[in-house]
Structure 1
Amino acid sequence: MDKLIELLISSGPPALLILVGLVWGKNLIEYFFKEIIEIKKKELAQNLENHKMKIEQENKNFQHILDAKLHEFNIKFTNLHSERAKVIKELYLKMLILQSSLNDVFKIKPNHINNNIHIINNFSNSFQDFQKYYLPNKIYFSEKLSTKIDIFLEEYSFITTEFTNILLEENVPIESLKPKWDKLSKDSSDYTFEIINELIKDFRNILGVEN
Protein backbone atom coordinates (compact mmCIF):
# COMPACT_ATOMS: atom_id res chain seq x y z
CA MET A 1 0.00 0.00 0.00
CA ASP A 2 2.86 2.38 0.89
CA LYS A 3 4.59 1.61 -2.40
CA LEU A 4 1.33 2.34 -4.24
CA ILE A 5 1.06 5.71 -2.54
CA GLU A 6 4.70 6.55 -3.33
CA LEU A 7 4.08 5.58 -6.95
CA LEU A 8 1.00 7.84 -7.19
CA ILE A 9 2.89 10.75 -5.62
CA SER A 10 5.78 10.36 -8.04
CA SER A 11 3.29 10.29 -10.95
CA GLY A 12 2.28 13.92 -10.48
CA PRO A 13 -0.95 15.89 -9.80
CA PRO A 14 -3.37 13.63 -11.70
CA ALA A 15 -2.36 10.71 -9.60
CA LEU A 16 -2.68 12.79 -6.47
CA LEU A 17 -6.22 13.69 -7.44
CA ILE A 18 -7.00 10.02 -7.87
CA LEU A 19 -5.48 9.30 -4.47
CA VAL A 20 -7.53 12.05 -2.81
CA GLY A 21 -10.63 10.72 -4.55
CA LEU A 22 -9.99 7.22 -3.31
CA VAL A 23 -9.37 8.35 0.26
CA TRP A 24 -12.42 10.59 0.21
CA GLY A 25 -14.55 7.82 -1.34
CA LYS A 26 -13.34 5.36 1.28
CA ASN A 27 -14.20 7.78 4.08
CA LEU A 28 -17.56 8.52 2.48
CA ILE A 29 -18.38 4.83 2.21
CA GLU A 30 -17.30 4.24 5.83
CA TYR A 31 -19.42 7.20 6.96
CA PHE A 32 -22.37 5.97 4.91
CA PHE A 33 -22.22 2.47 6.34
CA LYS A 34 -21.65 3.83 9.83
CA GLU A 35 -24.78 5.97 9.54
CA ILE A 36 -26.78 3.03 8.19
CA ILE A 37 -25.60 0.84 11.05
CA GLU A 38 -26.53 3.52 13.60
CA ILE A 39 -29.95 3.94 12.00
CA LYS A 40 -30.51 0.16 12.04
CA LYS A 41 -29.33 -0.05 15.64
CA LYS A 42 -31.80 2.67 16.62
CA GLU A 43 -34.57 0.91 14.68
CA LEU A 44 -33.74 -2.41 16.36
CA ALA A 45 -33.61 -0.73 19.77
CA GLN A 46 -36.96 0.97 19.14
CA ASN A 47 -38.52 -2.26 17.85
CA LEU A 48 -37.20 -4.08 20.90
CA GLU A 49 -38.59 -1.40 23.20
CA ASN A 50 -41.95 -1.51 21.43
CA HIS A 51 -42.00 -5.30 21.71
CA LYS A 52 -41.13 -5.11 25.40
CA MET A 53 -43.92 -2.56 25.97
CA LYS A 54 -46.36 -4.79 24.09
CA ILE A 55 -45.41 -7.83 26.16
CA GLU A 56 -45.65 -5.83 29.40
CA GLN A 57 -49.10 -4.57 28.41
CA GLU A 58 -50.23 -8.10 27.53
CA ASN A 59 -48.89 -9.33 30.86
CA LYS A 60 -50.78 -6.57 32.66
CA ASN A 61 -53.98 -7.42 30.79
CA PHE A 62 -53.54 -11.11 31.57
CA GLN A 63 -52.82 -10.32 35.22
CA HIS A 64 -56.01 -8.24 35.39
CA ILE A 65 -57.97 -11.20 34.00
CA LEU A 66 -56.35 -13.55 36.53
CA ASP A 67 -57.03 -11.13 39.39
CA ALA A 68 -60.67 -10.82 38.34
CA LYS A 69 -61.06 -14.61 38.14
CA LEU A 70 -59.33 -15.05 41.50
CA HIS A 71 -61.54 -12.40 43.07
CA GLU A 72 -64.63 -14.11 41.69
CA PHE A 73 -63.43 -17.49 42.96
CA ASN A 74 -62.61 -16.05 46.40
CA ILE A 75 -66.09 -14.57 46.69
CA LYS A 76 -67.73 -17.88 45.76
CA PHE A 77 -65.37 -19.87 47.99
CA THR A 78 -65.85 -17.46 50.91
CA ASN A 79 -69.63 -17.67 50.58
CA LEU A 80 -69.50 -21.48 50.45
CA HIS A 81 -67.05 -21.52 53.35
CA SER A 82 -69.33 -19.29 55.42
CA GLU A 83 -72.39 -21.34 54.52
CA ARG A 84 -70.66 -24.58 55.55
CA ALA A 85 -69.54 -23.05 58.85
CA LYS A 86 -73.11 -21.91 59.49
CA VAL A 87 -74.53 -25.39 58.79
CA ILE A 88 -71.95 -27.13 60.99
CA LYS A 89 -72.59 -24.70 63.83
CA GLU A 90 -76.36 -25.18 63.57
CA LEU A 91 -76.11 -28.97 63.51
CA TYR A 92 -73.72 -28.84 66.46
CA LEU A 93 -76.28 -26.90 68.52
CA LYS A 94 -79.01 -29.37 67.55
CA MET A 95 -76.73 -32.25 68.52
CA LEU A 96 -76.14 -30.70 71.95
CA ILE A 97 -79.91 -30.47 72.46
CA LEU A 98 -80.29 -34.07 71.33
CA GLN A 99 -77.50 -35.20 73.66
CA SER A 100 -79.11 -33.35 76.56
CA SER A 101 -82.50 -34.93 75.88
CA LEU A 102 -80.86 -38.36 75.76
CA ASN A 103 -79.16 -37.73 79.09
CA ASP A 104 -82.54 -36.78 80.56
CA VAL A 105 -84.02 -40.02 79.30
CA PHE A 106 -81.35 -42.16 80.88
CA LYS A 107 -81.66 -40.40 84.21
CA ILE A 108 -85.03 -42.08 84.52
CA LYS A 109 -85.21 -45.49 86.05
CA PRO A 110 -86.41 -48.06 83.51
CA ASN A 111 -89.53 -48.92 85.45
CA HIS A 112 -90.47 -45.22 85.70
CA ILE A 113 -90.50 -44.44 82.00
CA ASN A 114 -94.26 -44.52 81.76
CA ASN A 115 -94.41 -41.72 84.30
CA ASN A 116 -92.04 -39.53 82.27
CA ILE A 117 -93.45 -39.66 78.76
CA HIS A 118 -92.79 -35.94 78.26
CA ILE A 119 -89.03 -36.58 78.55
CA ILE A 120 -89.28 -39.31 75.91
CA ASN A 121 -91.24 -36.92 73.70
CA ASN A 122 -88.57 -34.24 74.12
CA PHE A 123 -85.95 -36.71 72.97
CA SER A 124 -88.06 -37.80 70.01
CA ASN A 125 -88.69 -34.18 68.95
CA SER A 126 -85.03 -33.19 69.28
CA PHE A 127 -84.00 -36.20 67.21
CA GLN A 128 -86.51 -35.42 64.47
CA ASP A 129 -85.30 -31.81 64.43
CA PHE A 130 -81.70 -32.99 64.11
CA GLN A 131 -82.55 -35.44 61.33
CA LYS A 132 -84.68 -32.92 59.44
CA TYR A 133 -81.83 -30.40 59.39
CA TYR A 134 -79.05 -32.87 58.66
CA LEU A 135 -80.42 -34.72 55.62
CA PRO A 136 -80.74 -31.77 53.19
CA ASN A 137 -77.38 -30.36 54.40
CA LYS A 138 -75.46 -33.63 54.34
CA ILE A 139 -73.35 -32.44 51.40
CA TYR A 140 -71.55 -29.93 53.64
CA PHE A 141 -70.06 -32.60 55.89
CA SER A 142 -66.98 -34.76 55.47
CA GLU A 143 -67.47 -38.36 54.41
CA LYS A 144 -66.18 -39.55 57.78
CA LEU A 145 -68.65 -37.45 59.75
CA SER A 146 -71.55 -38.23 57.40
CA THR A 147 -70.92 -41.94 57.88
CA LYS A 148 -71.04 -41.58 61.66
CA ILE A 149 -74.25 -39.55 61.56
CA ASP A 150 -75.84 -42.01 59.13
CA ILE A 151 -75.01 -44.87 61.49
CA PHE A 152 -76.50 -42.91 64.36
CA LEU A 153 -79.70 -42.35 62.38
CA GLU A 154 -79.90 -46.05 61.59
CA GLU A 155 -79.28 -46.98 65.20
CA TYR A 156 -82.10 -44.69 66.28
CA SER A 157 -84.61 -47.26 65.05
CA PHE A 158 -82.86 -49.81 67.24
CA ILE A 159 -82.91 -47.42 70.21
CA THR A 160 -86.63 -46.72 69.83
CA THR A 161 -87.29 -50.44 69.54
CA GLU A 162 -85.42 -50.95 72.80
CA PHE A 163 -87.46 -48.18 74.39
CA THR A 164 -90.64 -49.87 73.27
CA ASN A 165 -89.54 -53.25 74.59
CA ILE A 166 -88.66 -51.77 77.95
CA LEU A 167 -91.97 -49.97 78.14
CA LEU A 168 -93.76 -53.22 77.44
CA GLU A 169 -91.88 -55.04 80.15
CA GLU A 170 -94.17 -54.10 82.96
CA ASN A 171 -93.86 -55.74 86.32
CA VAL A 172 -90.32 -56.79 85.46
CA PRO A 173 -87.81 -56.29 88.30
CA ILE A 174 -85.60 -53.29 87.77
CA GLU A 175 -82.54 -55.47 88.35
CA SER A 176 -83.22 -57.32 85.12
CA LEU A 177 -83.85 -54.10 83.13
CA LYS A 178 -80.88 -52.17 84.43
CA PRO A 179 -78.11 -53.93 82.38
CA LYS A 180 -80.04 -53.41 79.16
CA TRP A 181 -80.83 -49.83 80.10
CA ASP A 182 -77.22 -49.08 80.99
CA LYS A 183 -75.97 -50.52 77.70
CA LEU A 184 -78.49 -48.48 75.77
CA SER A 185 -77.40 -45.39 77.65
CA LYS A 186 -73.71 -45.99 76.92
CA ASP A 187 -74.27 -46.72 73.21
CA SER A 188 -76.33 -43.55 72.76
CA SER A 189 -73.79 -41.47 74.67
CA ASP A 190 -70.93 -42.82 72.56
CA TYR A 191 -72.69 -41.95 69.30
CA THR A 192 -73.52 -38.39 70.31
CA PHE A 193 -70.07 -37.81 71.83
CA GLU A 194 -68.28 -38.89 68.62
CA ILE A 195 -70.52 -36.80 66.39
CA ILE A 196 -70.11 -33.71 68.56
CA ASN A 197 -66.32 -34.09 68.53
CA GLU A 198 -66.26 -34.45 64.73
CA LEU A 199 -68.46 -31.36 64.34
CA ILE A 200 -66.06 -29.40 66.54
CA LYS A 201 -63.06 -30.58 64.48
CA ASP A 202 -64.73 -29.65 61.18
CA PHE A 203 -65.72 -26.22 62.48
CA ARG A 204 -62.21 -25.53 63.79
CA ASN A 205 -60.70 -26.61 60.47
CA ILE A 206 -62.84 -24.03 58.69
CA LEU A 207 -61.66 -21.34 61.10
CA GLY A 208 -58.04 -22.45 60.67
CA VAL A 209 -57.75 -23.23 64.38
CA GLU A 210 -55.52 -26.13 65.37
CA ASN A 211 -57.27 -29.03 67.07
Structure 2
Amino acid sequence: MTNEEQRTPGEEPSGDEVPAAGSEANASGPVPQEPGEADAELTVDDILSAEQNADAAEAEGSEDADPESQYLEDLRRLTAEYANYRKRTEANAALEKQRAIAAAVTPLLSVLDDLDRAEQHGDLAEGSAFATIAQKLRASMERLGLSSFGEKGDPFDPQLHEAIAQVPVPGTEQHTVLDVIERGYRIGDVELRPAKVAVAVGADG
Protein backbone atom coordinates (compact mmCIF):
# COMPACT_ATOMS: atom_id res chain seq x y z
CA MET A 1 0.00 0.00 0.00
CA THR A 2 1.39 3.45 -0.91
CA ASN A 3 1.76 6.44 1.37
CA GLU A 4 -1.23 8.08 -0.28
CA GLU A 5 -3.44 5.17 0.41
CA GLN A 6 -2.39 5.10 4.10
CA ARG A 7 -3.01 8.89 4.63
CA THR A 8 -6.15 9.63 6.49
CA PRO A 9 -8.53 12.26 5.23
CA GLY A 10 -7.36 15.82 6.04
CA GLU A 11 -3.84 14.72 6.86
CA GLU A 12 -1.10 16.96 5.42
CA PRO A 13 1.69 15.33 3.53
CA SER A 14 4.95 15.07 5.42
CA GLY A 15 7.99 17.13 4.47
CA ASP A 16 9.70 14.04 3.18
CA GLU A 17 7.13 13.44 0.52
CA VAL A 18 7.92 14.92 -2.88
CA PRO A 19 4.93 16.12 -4.95
CA ALA A 20 4.53 14.29 -8.19
CA ALA A 21 5.40 15.99 -11.43
CA GLY A 22 2.51 17.97 -12.93
CA SER A 23 0.80 18.49 -9.54
CA GLU A 24 -1.08 21.65 -8.56
CA ALA A 25 1.86 22.97 -6.58
CA ASN A 26 4.06 23.01 -9.67
CA ALA A 27 1.32 24.47 -11.85
CA SER A 28 0.72 27.43 -9.54
CA GLY A 29 4.39 28.15 -8.83
CA PRO A 30 6.68 30.60 -10.74
CA VAL A 31 7.70 29.58 -14.22
CA PRO A 32 11.46 29.31 -14.43
CA GLN A 33 13.11 31.57 -17.07
CA GLU A 34 16.28 31.21 -19.04
CA PRO A 35 19.19 32.75 -17.15
CA GLY A 36 19.70 36.39 -18.11
CA GLU A 37 16.46 36.70 -20.14
CA ALA A 38 14.74 39.18 -17.82
CA ASP A 39 18.01 40.88 -17.00
CA ALA A 40 18.67 41.48 -20.71
CA GLU A 41 15.32 43.22 -21.23
CA LEU A 42 15.77 45.40 -18.17
CA THR A 43 19.30 46.30 -19.18
CA VAL A 44 18.20 47.67 -22.59
CA ASP A 45 15.46 49.77 -21.01
CA ASP A 46 17.78 50.96 -18.30
CA ILE A 47 20.43 51.98 -20.81
CA LEU A 48 17.98 53.99 -22.93
CA SER A 49 16.49 55.65 -19.89
CA ALA A 50 19.90 56.38 -18.45
CA GLU A 51 21.09 58.02 -21.69
CA GLN A 52 18.02 60.25 -21.87
CA ASN A 53 18.38 61.24 -18.24
CA ALA A 54 22.08 61.95 -18.73
CA ASP A 55 21.42 64.22 -21.74
CA ALA A 56 18.70 66.08 -19.88
CA ALA A 57 20.86 66.44 -16.81
CA GLU A 58 23.80 67.68 -18.90
CA ALA A 59 21.65 70.30 -20.68
CA GLU A 60 20.10 71.40 -17.41
CA GLY A 61 23.49 71.48 -15.75
CA SER A 62 25.00 73.63 -18.52
CA GLU A 63 22.16 76.10 -18.24
CA ASP A 64 22.27 76.18 -14.47
CA ALA A 65 26.06 76.36 -14.38
CA ASP A 66 26.38 79.95 -15.67
CA PRO A 67 23.23 81.36 -17.31
CA GLU A 68 24.69 84.87 -17.28
CA SER A 69 27.55 83.79 -19.56
CA GLN A 70 25.06 82.29 -22.01
CA TYR A 71 23.05 85.52 -22.06
CA LEU A 72 26.20 87.58 -22.65
CA GLU A 73 27.25 85.30 -25.50
CA ASP A 74 23.83 85.63 -27.13
CA LEU A 75 23.98 89.40 -26.69
CA ARG A 76 27.41 89.61 -28.33
CA ARG A 77 26.23 87.48 -31.25
CA LEU A 78 23.11 89.59 -31.79
CA THR A 79 25.14 92.80 -31.54
CA ALA A 80 27.61 91.58 -34.18
CA GLU A 81 24.80 90.50 -36.50
CA TYR A 82 23.09 93.87 -36.14
CA ALA A 83 26.36 95.74 -36.81
CA ASN A 84 26.93 93.76 -40.02
CA TYR A 85 23.33 94.32 -41.12
CA ARG A 86 23.66 98.05 -40.46
CA LYS A 87 26.89 98.28 -42.47
CA ARG A 88 25.33 96.48 -45.43
CA THR A 89 22.24 98.68 -45.27
CA GLU A 90 24.28 101.89 -45.14
CA ALA A 91 26.53 100.73 -47.98
CA ASN A 92 23.54 99.87 -50.17
CA ALA A 93 21.89 103.19 -49.38
CA ALA A 94 25.06 105.11 -50.29
CA LEU A 95 25.41 103.18 -53.55
CA GLU A 96 21.79 103.85 -54.50
CA LYS A 97 22.28 107.55 -53.79
CA GLN A 98 25.36 107.61 -56.04
CA ARG A 99 23.44 105.89 -58.82
CA ALA A 100 20.60 108.40 -58.55
CA ILE A 101 23.01 111.34 -58.78
CA ALA A 102 24.83 109.67 -61.67
CA ALA A 103 21.57 109.33 -63.61
CA ALA A 104 20.90 113.07 -63.16
CA VAL A 105 24.45 114.21 -63.98
CA THR A 106 25.21 112.02 -67.00
CA PRO A 107 23.29 114.22 -69.51
CA LEU A 108 25.47 117.17 -68.45
CA LEU A 109 28.74 115.47 -69.33
CA SER A 110 28.52 116.66 -72.91
CA VAL A 111 28.36 120.24 -71.62
CA LEU A 112 31.54 119.66 -69.62
CA ASP A 113 33.16 118.26 -72.77
CA ASP A 114 32.26 121.48 -74.63
CA LEU A 115 33.82 123.53 -71.82
CA ASP A 116 37.02 121.50 -72.06
CA ARG A 117 37.21 122.06 -75.82
CA ALA A 118 36.51 125.77 -75.43
CA GLU A 119 39.26 126.01 -72.83
CA GLN A 120 41.73 124.22 -75.11
CA HIS A 121 40.95 126.70 -77.90
CA GLY A 122 41.37 129.69 -75.57
CA ASP A 123 37.69 130.62 -75.54
CA LEU A 124 37.53 130.71 -71.71
CA ALA A 125 39.50 133.86 -71.11
CA GLU A 126 40.08 134.40 -67.41
CA GLY A 127 37.63 136.92 -65.96
CA SER A 128 35.15 136.59 -68.82
CA ALA A 129 31.48 135.86 -68.18
CA PHE A 130 31.77 132.56 -70.04
CA ALA A 131 34.70 131.47 -67.84
CA THR A 132 32.77 132.39 -64.70
CA ILE A 133 29.78 130.28 -65.78
CA ALA A 134 32.06 127.34 -66.60
CA GLN A 135 33.72 127.60 -63.19
CA LYS A 136 30.37 127.63 -61.36
CA LEU A 137 29.09 124.63 -63.33
CA ARG A 138 32.20 122.59 -62.62
CA ALA A 139 32.08 123.49 -58.92
CA SER A 140 28.44 122.40 -58.73
CA MET A 141 29.29 119.03 -60.29
CA GLU A 142 32.13 118.53 -57.82
CA ARG A 143 29.81 119.22 -54.88
CA LEU A 144 27.58 116.41 -56.17
CA GLY A 145 30.58 114.09 -55.98
CA LEU A 146 31.55 114.09 -59.66
CA SER A 147 35.25 113.46 -60.29
CA SER A 148 37.17 113.12 -63.55
CA PHE A 149 40.03 110.87 -64.54
CA GLY A 150 42.27 110.44 -67.55
CA GLU A 151 45.37 112.61 -67.84
CA LYS A 152 48.22 112.72 -70.32
CA GLY A 153 51.07 110.47 -69.26
CA ASP A 154 48.91 108.07 -67.24
CA PRO A 155 49.64 104.36 -67.75
CA PHE A 156 46.99 102.92 -70.04
CA ASP A 157 44.41 100.94 -68.09
CA PRO A 158 41.68 99.19 -70.13
CA GLN A 159 39.46 99.26 -67.03
CA LEU A 160 39.53 103.07 -67.03
CA HIS A 161 40.45 104.08 -70.57
CA GLU A 162 38.92 103.50 -73.96
CA ALA A 163 41.65 103.57 -76.60
CA ILE A 164 40.32 105.18 -79.76
CA ALA A 165 43.75 105.51 -81.33
CA GLN A 166 47.23 104.02 -81.03
CA VAL A 167 50.19 106.17 -81.92
CA PRO A 168 53.65 104.59 -82.38
CA VAL A 169 56.20 106.54 -80.37
CA PRO A 170 59.89 105.55 -80.46
CA GLY A 171 61.29 104.59 -77.09
CA THR A 172 57.89 103.80 -75.56
CA GLU A 173 58.16 100.73 -73.35
CA GLN A 174 54.78 100.96 -71.63
CA HIS A 175 51.47 101.96 -73.18
CA THR A 176 50.64 105.41 -71.89
CA VAL A 177 47.97 108.03 -72.47
CA LEU A 178 49.25 110.32 -75.22
CA ASP A 179 46.17 112.54 -75.46
CA VAL A 180 42.75 112.77 -73.77
CA ILE A 181 39.86 113.19 -76.18
CA GLU A 182 37.15 113.01 -73.50
CA ARG A 183 37.64 112.79 -69.75
CA GLY A 184 36.27 109.86 -67.82
CA TYR A 185 33.86 110.55 -64.95
CA ARG A 186 32.68 108.76 -61.84
CA ILE A 187 30.62 109.46 -58.75
CA GLY A 188 31.93 107.52 -55.81
CA ASP A 189 32.04 103.87 -56.87
CA VAL A 190 29.78 104.44 -59.87
CA GLU A 191 31.60 104.97 -63.15
CA LEU A 192 29.68 107.17 -65.57
CA ARG A 193 31.96 106.55 -68.53
CA PRO A 194 35.59 105.65 -69.31
CA ALA A 195 38.08 108.18 -70.59
CA LYS A 196 38.53 108.24 -74.35
CA VAL A 197 42.23 108.47 -75.07
CA ALA A 198 44.95 108.11 -77.67
CA VAL A 199 47.58 105.64 -76.55
CA ALA A 200 51.31 105.85 -77.17
CA VAL A 201 52.77 102.47 -78.10
CA GLY A 202 56.24 101.28 -79.05
CA ALA A 203 57.38 102.06 -82.56
CA ASP A 204 57.77 98.31 -83.19
CA GLY A 205 54.08 97.66 -82.45
TM-score in terms of structure 2 length: 0.38
The structure with more strand, counted as a fraction of residues: 2
TM-score in terms of structure 1 length: 0.37
The structure with more helix, counted as a fraction of residues: 1
Q: Which has the higher contact order (CA 8 A, sep 6+)?
A: 1
